[in-house]
Amino acid sequence: MPVVLRYQEAFQSAIGVPVRLVAPNLPDWRLSLGPSENPFCVLVASLPLGCQACVTAQASAQRGAAKRLGAQQVSCLAGLTEVAVPIIAGGRHVATLLSGQILRREPSERDLAFTIQMLGGGTQAEDWKVRLREAYFATPVFDAARFQSLVQMLKLFSIFLGDTVGSAAVSNSGEEPPAVASAKQFVQERMSEAINLDLVIRHVSVSRFYFCRLFKKATGMTLSQYVTRVRLENAKILLLDETLRVNEVGRATGFRSIPRFNALFKEYVGMAPSEYREAQMAHLVD
């Protein structure tokens, strides 16, 4: 999903550590976090005991997230912390966000020496030890406030992804007829504008009767229903920004009548926009 790649890039730029979207099942091997992974962890994982310690820590984080259905932090044998946050869609745990490894306190030579001893790295070449030391002292150190920001961003994105998975019907599919895919993109790009059937038909250049029948068959919705659903899905995302008032969210997503926005949102989501915001914010601070 392109949105996942963009988030991973933004997360690393803002927080300073990588993040990876992983399947909900527990792997039997160590999960790499890509080219931006902490070099210290890569070097530690080159040792048999180090690799096993990494697998154990990652499995513990994912198991805890799945059991609690909430954020789970664990520390590995080397003293580094990583966070796992579950993605919930339709009441099911469908995936997990796994953060890169960080330190929660300043590293010391004593801690490094103990880690090398515990992991059986004492017999490694001096060049390996030099690189390990450099990587260890270059590991990001997060104080309480910065660590809370890391967890908060992971939670926010997990909510967004859960909603995205749950709203797959409003996304584009490569198997859809070109006119349907083009219409969907047209709606998504102009969500905040006035959209009607005539505008969309002119854009896709097919007859009204043919388009209505084709769109309903492909999506299970009329164009009007689809437009409303796209706007409501985007409203759910904007409501996570507490700096925006509910009426601002409604107008930003194309609703000209705020009472109608409130009514449609409650009908679709099961609660009023303000209640939805409160519920999501309460989830974030659990």
Order of strands, sheet of 81-89, starting from the edge strand that comes earlier in the sequence:
19-22, 92-99, 81-89, 72-75
Third-level CATH fold of 172-284: Arc Repressor Mutant, subunit A (1.10.10)
Distance, in Å, from the CA atom of 55 to the CA atom of 37, rounded to the nearest integer, reads: 15
What are phi and psi for residue 124, nearest 5 degrees?
A: -70, 160
Distance of CA 206 to the CA centre of its chain: 37
pTM as predicted: 0.62
Write out the two tokens for 107: 């590293």
Instruction: Give the residue extent of every domain in the chain.
Output: 2-166, 172-284
Residue by residue, pLDDT tens for the chain (286 residues) are: 456 777 788 888 888 999 988 877 776 788 888 888 999 999 999 999 989 999 999 999 999 998 888 899 999 988 999 999 998 865 677 788 999 999 999 999 999 999 999 888 888 889 999 999 999 999 999 999 999 999 988 988 888 777 765 555 455 555 678 999 899 888 888 888 899 999 999 999 999 999 999 999 888 889 999 999 888 888 887 887 777 899 999 998 999 999 999 999 998 888 899 998 888 777 655 5
Q: Residue 97: which of 52, 146, 33, 46 has the closest Cα?
A: 33
- Whose tokens are 């409003």? That residue is 170
Task: Say whether 54 sits in a helix, a strand or coil.
Answer: helix
